[in-house]
Structure 1
Amino acid sequence: MKNIIITGTSRGIGLELVKKLAAEGHQILAVSRKTNPELTALANVIHISTDLSDTHDLEKVREAIIQRWKHVDILIHNAGAIVNKPFKDLSSEEFEYVYKVNVFGVAALNRLVLPFMPAHSHVVTISSMGGIQGSLKFPGLAAYSSSKGAVITLSELLAEEYKEQGVAFNVLALGAVQTEMLEEAFPGYQAPINPQGMADYIVNFALTGNAYFNGKILQVSSSTP
């Protein structure tokens, strides 16, 4: 059984990932600002209320690893912030916040967790088709899509830096999934897949993908967007 950290676990794909992996017997550290009551009933799940945009708040994760686990096998960066606004109306504070969660938070958590990751560990970052160069772009997502492109490049670089340590870094660039965040950004849009279905794919990839991939970006989308 694996020790697995998952961010963005209060709802949507993150919540489903925790439930599925916990049901398989893995030990889960669920990281999100809000605690979903569904998680408190799971014996092998620890929830830490953490703001990923606050690097000092992330120290709670380090403390939990030291006290409970000593090592981490899998880190899944699932948390994300999105603002859907025309660029001219997007404030610098909004732009910065999206990057704090989607990019700087990912980098900070990597820096914190990597000392605890042995060989054959796996870091999976959930990105978006909007972050893929040459993919169809949607107006209003300047901060979100550019941040998702940034973590793709970050993961490629870290895969190279940590290959001798044996830690694999891969990215799943998701298409539309019918989550609360999608509904907030695109009210009324109906995605072709639900969070449970996407979570099934991510669970399998997180557990086995590092045997086949490192420094790769897999486009997981059956639609546009």
Structure 2
Amino acid sequence: MKNKNIIITGTSRGIGLELALKFANEGHQVLAISRKTSKILIENPNVTCLPIDVSITEELQQVEKFVINSWQNTVDVVIHNAGSLVNKPFEQITPADFEQVYKVNVFAVAELTRICIPYLSKGSHVVTISSMGGVQGSSKFPGLAAYSSSKGAVITLSELLAEEYKEQQIAFNVLALGAVNTEMLQEAFPGYEAPLSAKEMAEYIWNFALTGNKFYNGKVLQVSSSTP
């Protein structure tokens, strides 16, 4: 398999960090996007760290400049992994809370995809990391109204984009994750011990990002051995 150009958001910790390391250590070129930059990524010769806030549209324009100047206008895989979570009773969630969660979990996904579309060619794959909480008919949990509804929104967005860009043979798929031992899981479910580590889930996502587009387009795969 030839080395590919991979964009990953939310790479400062957890699954995103493990994903960036996995792709880079396998020889792929990685653009790691997060507000905070991990030292271990900076030291990896196959990783370029872009310390931006994905919720700010103007900052996302730096991605296009990088792709043009450093990757000769080519992106092979985009993994929308960045996430924002508010855990509050619904009556305490403010409009500002909702807006911030949607800026990161929905609007940034749409904008970064829009930026990358001209540079995605036949066989490219856009993978959005959602949550079981965003899947219709799944178990829902109090306090996660903003988060889970945003994760439902990107599922529908991905399905629509798969249809819109199927002629260009750009695949759009969603992985709806269950419980994984990350800091974000602890924010949602303090004290809960998930059976999967961030590194284990990153291994799965890595393989799916490189091969899943051969088998799926416009699909939502539930990657969940457990939910709290």
Q: TM over 0.5: same fold?
A: yes
Amino acid in structure 1 at the alignment position of 2:19: L
TM-score when normalising by structure 1? 0.99
Tell me the equivalent position of 1:221.
Answer: 224
1:141 aligns with 2:141: no
Residues 104-141 of structure 1, C-alpha deviation per residue, up to 9 Å, x if partnerless? 00000000011100000000000000000000000000
Three-state SS of the structure 2 residue aligned to 1:147 is: helix
> In structure 2, what residue type is equivalent to 1:52?
V
Provide the residue aligned with 1:85 in structure 2: 88
Q: Distance in 2 between matches of 1:114 and 1:79?
A: 19
Q: How does 1:85-164 map to 2 (within 5 A)?
A: 85-164=88-167
> Unpaired runs of 5+ in structure 1?
none
- Residue in 2 that maps onto 1:13: 15
Distance of 1:216 and 1:65 partners within structure 2? 27
Which of 25, 28, 36 aligns to 2:27? It is 25
Deviation at 1:185, TM superposition (A): 2.1
Q: Which runs of 4+ in 1 moved over 6 A?
A: none
Q: Structure 2: where are the runs of 5+ without partners?
A: none
Q: Which residues in structure 2 correspond to 1:125-204 (within 5 Å)?
A: 125-204=128-207
State the shift of 1:204 in Å. 0.3
Quick one: which amino acid aligns to residue 210 of structure 1? N
Alignment partner of 2:126: what SS?
strand
Alignment correspondent of 2:44: 42
What is the alpha-carbon root mean square deviation over aligned residues?
0.6
- Residue aligning to 1:207: 210
Percent sequence identity is 67
